[in-house]
Structure 1
Amino acid sequence: MTQASANKVVPSWLKVSDDSVIVTMKGAVNIGGLLVDKLTMRAPTVRDQRAATATANNDYEQIEINMLCSLLTATEAEIAALSVRNYNRLQAGYFRLVEEDEL
């Protein structure tokens, strides 16, 4: 383990496993018509990446939103309605699923 990874701490609002993350939101959010305070995001596949990229016209932000919608089973409107704080938490969870950072 490197010194950099030894100093990294998983935030209390993030539970990481090999195939998913559970992200605790700051307050309840509306997903699928339900108010929830935790979202489970499954690990992405190459198929997910290809589908997210196919309709985004090289727009990185749209690729990211497409990917989150797929992995959370959420709509684009539901993702757009999130606070920036909660969106940042989802981004952090996604990062943990795709990077090999020893956490």
Structure 2
Amino acid sequence: MLTITARIGDYYGDGSSNHIWATRDSDGALIAELYVSTDRREIMNIWVDEDHRGEGHARQLYETATDQMDVFHAPVAHRTPEGNAFAEAVGGETVTPYPCDCYACDTMED
């Protein structure tokens, strides 16, 4: 039996605030996590244990989260190839553009 829990916590170790949904098995072992920023409701990370990839855990967490609030995909420049494939597979809106000085955004303007 799988359990999905929700909490608010830090992802980056910098004190940031994120909604966190997690899937655990009946032994309490972590299977998957979804981190969504509390300010923009932007997906910051989705992680699934290697042994459980392809089983729909990321989609299940995304659907659980979107049943509870608006959740937005990160800008394309911020996505990994896997994150982009996930965004395309599940659909949904991308976060409204915001000022960003990361390397990916800086190189897009050049």
Shorter-chain TM-score: what band? under 0.3
- Normalising by structure 2, we get a TM-score of 0.26
